Each structure stands twice: as structure tokens, then as C-alpha cells.
Amino acid sequence: MTAQSVRAASAMLDGGAFDVERYRADFPILTTQVRGKELVYLDNAASAQKPRQVIDAIAEFDRASYANIHRGVHHLSQVATKAYEGARDKVRAFMNAEQDREIIFVRGTTEAINLVASSYGRANLQAGDEILITHLEHHSNIVPWQILCQQTGAVLKVAPISDEGEIVMDEFKKLVGKKTKIVAVNHVSNALGTINPVDEIIALAHEVGAVALIDGAQSAPHLAIDVRALDADFYAFSSHKIFGPTGVGVLYGKAALLEAMPPYQGGGDMISYVTFEETRYNRIPYKFEAGTPNITGVVGMGAAIDYIQSVGLDAIGAYEHELLEYATERVGAVEGVRLVGTAAKKAGVLSFVIDGVHPHDVGTILDQAGIAIRAGHHCAQPVMDRFGIPATARASFAFYNTKAEIDALVDGIHQIRKVFG
Ligand code: 7TS
């Protein structure tokens, strides 16, 4: 048994229960008081909190190992380069990618999708070609494709979703055809929590020779990702949603695709040779990492991956499922509350509306009780349009949340109903 699996096993209480208190103790911010109340942090889909192990790894790297990477013969530059490239290998293993060079460090999911749209998209799409997304996407998996359509004359197609918030696969299949060149879908919806059948979607894309990009911003914190089993062409996620720092994330791409793609940005590190007449580009992944990257952020993301793996994604998934079921039942039972997004397979997100109360008021009143949720369109306005609402209140869970916190949320909702009579 590894040290990590010993820790994971010993964190399971008798009877296999998840020892949430043990993990909560790793997150210093969870003891914060907000407006005189104990913080109840239910905005994990926006950004997850960081455990001490990540905070310390960042501080320790900056204190003892920091220098610019890839370009120094001096000791610290070599130490920093090793830490940076070590994190790349951790990401590779986390996603079960075959090779480190298939892992590109970017600013986050948004930049990853823009990179593919700009580089792969402009090089491979022509007027009349089609890009297929769904009605369930975050704006960052809509707008880059709209820009690409404007630039190339390609056409954006959108697969519909059901009243439960699931992709209507029969309709999706009808939209996949000879003209389809890119299929881009989220693995888990940030607005509704739906887990999408990305394996089936990728297979459909491949049947017509299209590439498939999976937006994994909301899956990476909750599900084990296996890009090889999925056969994903591109897969993106953000560090700040997996308990790491902001400003850094990952684009996975199959090596053959990345090698054939033109650079996204030009500058230092992405070249092998520069003259005014001709520039030769560096090999992948460096071809796509122009300029000094977020070195400390990458190291912090590596520490976050170590941390997640010490808890174990299977244990996280099982515990969060229990939390979501409890929350769905309790919140759904409150009179005047309607849950938005009731898919059969969901992860970590409970979106709801309360009759006669604007979601922003829900968020503001819950905040008075120290409860942090998100109120708004969640950067998924088409999802709101589909349900004929301007916004929802959204509670989103991490493995450090508890049933007692869900009880606090339910008490808060009752309070709101009283206030708005
Ligand atoms: N895709 C999905 C499915 C997301 O949930 C988000 C962020 C992004 C892409 C963009 O990620 P970024 O790290 O590049 O910003 N979602 C949210 C959210 O639900 N609330 O705040 C940010």
C-alpha cells in the first residue's frame, strides 16, 4: 500500500463512511467566521478552496525553489524546471494521458478552449463546416466557437436539452454529419450538474472524422478522468476548481493533433530558432507555452492533484453523491422551491429557484447566515433561457461539505420564504 492509499483507507471510518471532519481540518478557510457565523461554503463550482498542503507547497516553492524555468544553467532554475515538469507528469497521470508532451499548461479552461478554436480551428475549418455544441455549455465553450465561425464561415450547431437538463441524444445524433468538424461538450454542466455521456459523444464525433473537445472544468474535481479510455482529442480543466491556485489550467491534446497545429501565441520558449527571415517552433508542449508561464501556479496545481489523489476520487465521488441526494431531497421538499436540472446522472450541483424571490435576493439573504452560494446565470445564459428564467441560486458541493451544512442551507431557505411571506 502506498502512503497515499494508507491515508485514504485510514480516513474511512468503521463501516466505510467518509471521514469528512478529517479532511475539513486540511482547509484553514473553513474555520472562517462570516458575519459572525461559521462559513458554509457552497460555491465550489465557481472556485474550490485550498488545503494547507497546497498553500504550503506554493509558499515553500516560492521560498526555496523559485526561478524562471527552461532557460537557466544555474541551480535554482534547474530545481524550478524540475518542479514544473514534475507537475506536468502528475497531470498526465491524473488524466491517464499517454505522454507528458500532450499536457499543455494554460491559464484555465477558457484559454484551453480558445487555444483549440484559434489554432486547430483556423487551420482546419472552412466555410460551411460545422461545429457542434450543446444547449448546456458554459459561455467559454460557446463564444470561442462563435468567433471561429465569424473568422472561417463555419456554422455553429446546438444540440437541445430536455426539461431535466440532459442532452437529447437522438437530436444530437441527427446533428452529427459529414460537415461536422469539431464537437465540443462539457463533461459536467456547471449550471445544472448534469453528467453528460461524453464517451458516446466522442465516438459519434469520430464516426464522421470530427475531433472532440471535452470541457472538463466541472468533472475534474469530482470524477476520475481517463482521456485514453474516452479517446478524447482535447480535454480541458482549471486548477482553481480542483483545490489549486487560479490562473493556471490544462489542455490535453493528442500528440499527433498538437504536432500538426500552428502555434497559438508567439514569444519566448515556443521557438527553437529565430531569425527575421524564418522562425522554427519548439516541439510540443512548449510550442504552445509562449512566454514565462505561471510557474508557481503549475507547482501548486501539482500539489492539488497529489492532495486529491490522497483522498481518492472514488471516495470523493461516493461521498458527494450521498451529499447531493440528501440536498436534492431536503431542498426539493421545501414548499415553493423548484429544482432546475434533475438529470438521472448528476455531480455536485443543486440549482434552484424560489417562487416570488429573485435568486440574487436568495444569495444575499443566505450570505447573512454565512452561507456562500452563487446566484446568477452561471455564465450559461442559454441554459437559463431554456428554462425561461433569468437566473438560479446554485449550491455546489465539494468533499469537505457536510449534511449539517445542507441543513443550514435548508434553514436559510425557510427563512427566506418567511421574509418574502
Ligand atoms: N467550463 C465550465 C463547465 C465551467 O464551469 C467554467 C467555470 C469554465 C468552463 C471556465 O473556467 P475558467 O476557469 O476558465 O473560468 N465555471 C464557473 C462557474 O460555474 N462559476 O464561476 C465559474
Q: Is 218 in the pocket of ligand 1 (CB under 6 A)?
A: yes
| β-bridge pairing 33-34 and 37-38 | antiparallel
Whole-number percent of the chain with pLDDT over 70:
96
Q: Is 166 in the pocket of ligand 1 (CB under 6 A)?
A: no
Helices marked H in 35-168: 52-64, 75-95, 109-115, 122-124, 143-152
Section 58-75 average pLDDT: 94
**Spatial distance between the Cα atoms of 114 and 189, rounded to a whole number of angstroms:** 19
- Give the model's confidence band at 71: pLDDT under 50 very low, under 70 low, under 90 confident, else very high: confident
- Give the model's confidence band at 17: pLDDT under 50 very low, under 70 low, under 90 confident, else very high: confident
Q: Tell how far the Cα of 324 is from the centroid of ligand 1, in angstroms.
A: 20
Q: Tell how far the Cα of 160 is from the centroid of ligand 1, in angstroms.
A: 21
> If you take atom 21 of ligand 1, which residue's CA is the nearest one?
46
Q: Which among 147, 379, 389, 410 is annotated as catalytic?
A: 379
Are 139 and 312 spatial neighbours (Cβ–Cβ below 8 Å)? no
Question: What domains can be seen in the chain, in order of their start residue?
Answer: 3-48+312-419 (3.90.1150.10), 65-310 (3.40.640.10)
Does the pLDDT of residue 11 top 90, yes or no?
no
Does the pLDDT of residue 94 top 70, yes or no?
yes
Q: Tell how far the Cα of 139 is from the centroid of ligand 1, in angstroms.
A: 8
Does the pLDDT of residue 8 top 80, yes or no?
no
pLDDT of residue 6: 43
- Give the model's confidence band at 421: pLDDT under 50 very low, under 70 low, under 90 confident, else very high: confident
Best residue among 138, 145, 214 to mutate for probing ligand 1, ranked by most atoms within 8 Å of CB: 138
pLDDT of residue 43: 98
Q: Is 134 in the pocket of ligand 1 (CB under 6 A)?
A: no
pLDDT of residue 16: 64
Best residue among 167, 222, 379, 381 to mutate for probing ligand 1, ranked by most atoms within 8 Å of CB: 379
pLDDT of residue 1: 39
Specify the higher pLDDT residue, 3 or 308.
308
- Give the model's confidence band at 52: pLDDT under 50 very low, under 70 low, under 90 confident, else very high: very high
Are 339 and 276 spatial neighbours (Cβ–Cβ below 8 Å)? no
> If you take atom 17 of ligand 1, which residue's CA is the nearest one?
46
Q: Is 296 in the pocket of ligand 1 (CB under 6 A)?
A: no
Section 278-302 average pLDDT: 97
**Spatial distance between the Cα atoms of 37 and 43, rounded to a whole number of angstroms:** 17
pLDDT of residue 7: 46
DSSP character for 333?
A: T
Q: Tell how far the Cα of 17 is from the centroid of ligand 1, in angstroms.
A: 30
Best residue among 186, 238, 396 to mutate for probing ligand 1, ranked by most atoms within 8 Å of CB: 238
Phi-psi region of 379 (alpha: psi -120 to 50; beta: other; left: phi over 0): left
User: Model confidence over 387-420: pLDDT tens digits?
Assistant: 999 999 999 999 999 999 999 999 999 999 999 9
Section 330-355 average pLDDT: 97
What Rg do the C-alpha atoms of the chain give, in angstroms? 22
pTM above 0.85, yes or no: yes
Does the pLDDT of residue 75 top 50, yes or no?
yes
Section 277-287 average pLDDT: 96
Section 264-287 average pLDDT: 95
The type of residue at 263 is P
**What distances in angstroms separate CA 42 from CA 305, 375, 409, one per listed residue?**
21, 11, 9
| Structure-derived torsion over alpha carbons of residues 386, 387, 392, 394, reported in degrees to the nearest 10 | -80
| Cell of residue 250, nine digits | 490544462
CA angle 327, 348, 418 (to 5 degrees): 35
Does the pLDDT of residue 292 top 60, yes or no?
yes
Catalytic: 379?
yes
Does the pLDDT of residue 53 top 90, yes or no?
yes
User: Model confidence over 180-228: pLDDT tens digits?
Assistant: 999 999 999 999 999 999 999 999 999 999 999 999 999 999 999 999 9
pLDDT of residue 4: 47
